[in-house]
Amino acid sequence: MNDLTDLSDLTDPAASGGHDAVTVPVIEHAIELTVNRARVRATVEPRTSLADFLREQQMLCGTNIGCEQGVCGACTLLVDGAPARSCITPAVACAGASVQSIEGFDDDPAMRELREAFRAEHALQCGYCTPGMLMTARDIVTRLPDADDARVRLELSGNLCRCTGYVGIVRAIRRVLEARRARAAAPAALLAGA
Amino acid sequence: MKPPVFDYARPLTCADAFAHPDLADGMAKFAAGCQSLGPMMNLRLAQPGMLVDLRAIAALRECGAQGDAAVLGACITHAEIEDGKVDDGTQGLMPHVARGIAYRAVRNRGTLGGSLAHADPAADWINTMCALDAEFLVSGPRGARTVASADWMLGAFTTALEGDEILTGVRYRRLSPAARWAYYKFNRKPGEFAEAIAIVIDDPAAGTCRAVIGAIDGAPHRIDDARALLAPGADAGLPGRHVEAAGLDADSYEFQVHRVALERAIAIVQRHGRNPL
């Protein structure tokens, strides 16, 4: 069979030697959760990760998948407001939870500042790690307002950038931290007109 | 990779968890944060047919004081300990340890009990609980029992927990305000599993002074009376002899790393009393 588009021998067990077809049971659960502030009802297999659920069932492809073992940080997003690895979190375990993926931050003030800082400081090259980097960066600037560069690097150690563009990423986060600290220190009267 | 097919349940009580029918055939596994089990399932190193998620069981998040002891529920996350949201009573030791576990995104979901039940020799809590001489609180269909620290870990990734039992929490004596402690973890990159862990806890008010050599092949090696290690002008060869007693070959790289870790933990206690903030 030379026709490369004919895959019948791969999909039909009988055509490839007649061995018994293996029936894999499909287990599905109905879940209800919040995705980027919208209520979502869906049916998922327990083996489906949150990352795959978002990408393949919700068509939210901003979450990138790298290592699928919780090491690279590319798939980091917020579950109930806290960063989590969506590649090792089953979607079914997020029933009832509020999930916020990179698509859900258009009007988020901290994320808007970070996006501008990432652009100004060339904090992305290929962009693959960027959604996860932004999630961790947002966690740093909101949870650790006094972080210095050493702390920023420590907190970023769970996000790998294959382009090794860490200097720009650290600079971008520092830029946002400094801007937020300056605003916090400014007298309220000055902010009133801003 | 993706995990193979499995089913999922999220019981609301321990009794419902024990009653799960799939436990009988050994193919069900209790799970909490899934920060170790998740990667293992994705890599297909673990293939449970049923995952029984314990996170919705409120009793597993209960913490409190019992006399001079602290009790921490198994489903408390590393991040909650890091942030001081539970009264751990260890004078800063546990928040310090928690901050060094993996990464914040992992700490937000990974749990104390999950890590202890997983029993990776290079993990932080299994060694810390050994140093605190914690009791492991276990519940199962045959009732509740406690397991002493020394009897908990039988070997790498193997504990005294039966397949149908749940670790519900840990109980340990709170450290007194004057307690000195040091936690020294050696790893190449922050957040990685340790190549060596050394812990020293000196609590004269409680009459205890222990050290632990951790991240070795099996269960942590505890030195029940570590006073000689901390004494001024102590024999410089003593840490190395303890590391040899823990089973490390004196000619090996691992011996060197563990000996240096223990020496540095001792030095922290001697110079600073505790790990500097």
Domain co-membership, A114 together with A95: no
Is A68–B1 a contact, with Cβ atoms under 8 angstroms apart? yes
Q: How far apart are CA B91 and CA B86, in angstroms?
A: 12
Is A47 within 8 Å of chain B by CB?
A: yes
Are residues A92 and A116 both part of a single domain?
no
Interface check for A89 against chain B (CB to CB < 8 A): the answer is yes
Q: What are the residue ranges spanned by the domains of chain B?
A: 7-52, 60-173, 180-271
pLDDT at residue A13 greater than cutoff 90: no
- Out of B11-25, B56-70, B227-241, B244-258, which region has the weakest mean confidence (pLDDT)? B11-25
Tens digit of each residue's pLDDT (9 = 90 or more) over A156-187:
999 999 999 999 999 999 999 999 999 999 87
Instruction: With respect to residue A134, please indicate whether it lies within any of the assigned structural domains.
Output: yes
- Answer yes or no: is A168 within a domain: yes
Grade residue A20 by pLDDT with cuts at 50, 70 and 90.
low
| Residue A156, in any domain of the structure | yes
Tell me if A157 is assigned to some domain: yes
Q: Does A10 touch chain B (CB under 8 A)?
A: no
Per-residue model confidence as pLDDT tens digits over B168-210: 999 999 999 999 999 999 999 999 999 999 999 999 999 999 9
User: How many Å lie between the alpha carbon of A30 and the closest alpha carbon of chain B?
Assistant: 12
CA separation for the pair A187, A48 (Å, rounded): 50
B35: chain A residues, CB-CB within 8 Å: 70, 85, 88
* A contacts of B109 (beta carbons < 8 Å): 79, 84-85, 89
> Which position has the token pair 């989590």?
A84
Residue pLDDT, tens place only, B80-110? 999 999 999 999 999 999 999 999 999 999 9
- Looking at the domain assignment, is residue A7 inside a domain? no
Distance from CA of A117 to the nearest CA of B (A): 22
Last residue of a domain, one of A77, A104, A131: A104
Query: B180-271, which class in CATH?
Result: alpha beta
Mean pLDDT, residues A13-40 = 80
A92 and A130 inside one domain: no
Cα separation, B81 vs B104, in Å, equals: 12
- Give the CATH number, domain containing residue A115: 1.10.150.120
The model's confidence at residue A1, banded by pLDDT at 50, 70 and 90, is very low
Question: Which pLDDT score is estimated for B260?
Answer: 98
pLDDT of res. A189: 61
Residue predicted with more confidence, B258 or A189: B258
User: Complex ipTM above 0.85?
Assistant: yes
Interface contact A157-B39, CB threshold 8 A: no
- Residue A22 — very low, low, confident or very high, per pLDDT cuts 50/70/90? confident
In a domain, A37, yes or no: yes
CB B127 within 8 A of CB B215: yes
Q: What is the per-residue pLDDT for A190?
A: 64
Residue of A nearest to B2 (CA): A47
Structural domain ending residue among the three candidates A104, A129, A146: A104
Domain-embedded: residue A4: no
User: Considering its fold, how many domains does chain A have in total?
Assistant: 2
Q: What is the pLDDT of residue B21?
A: 78
Q: Looking at the domain covering B60-173, what would its CATH class be?
A: alpha beta
User: Which residues on B lie below 8 Å from A30 (Cβ)?
Assistant: none
**Cα–Cα distance for residue pair B183/B95, rounded to 1 Å:** 11
A64 half-sphere exposure, CB direction, 13 A CA radius? 18
Residue A42 lies in domain: 29-104
Q: Give the minimum alpha-carbon distance from B103 to chain A in angstroms, rounded to a whole number.
A: 5
Q: For B7-52, write each residue's pLDDT tens digit.
A: 999 999 999 999 887 777 788 999 999 999 999 999 999 999 999 9
What's the mean per-residue pLDDT of chain A? 90
Q: Give the nearest partner residue to A154 out of B6, B105, B190, using CB atoms.
A: B190
Does residue A153 sit in the same domain as residue A173?
yes
Is A191 part of any domain? no
B188, closest residue in chain A (CA to CA): A157
pLDDT of A8 over the 70 cut: no
pLDDT at residue A40, rounded to an integer: 98
Tell if the CB–CB gap between A70 and B104 is shorter than 8 Å: no
A165 touches chain B (CB under 8 A): no
Q: Which of B11, B10, B4 is nearest to B27 (CA)?
A: B4
Helix axes A166-185, A109-120, angle to 10 degrees: 130
Tens digit of pLDDT for each residue in B152-169?
999 999 999 999 999 999
CATH code of A41's domain? 3.10.20.30
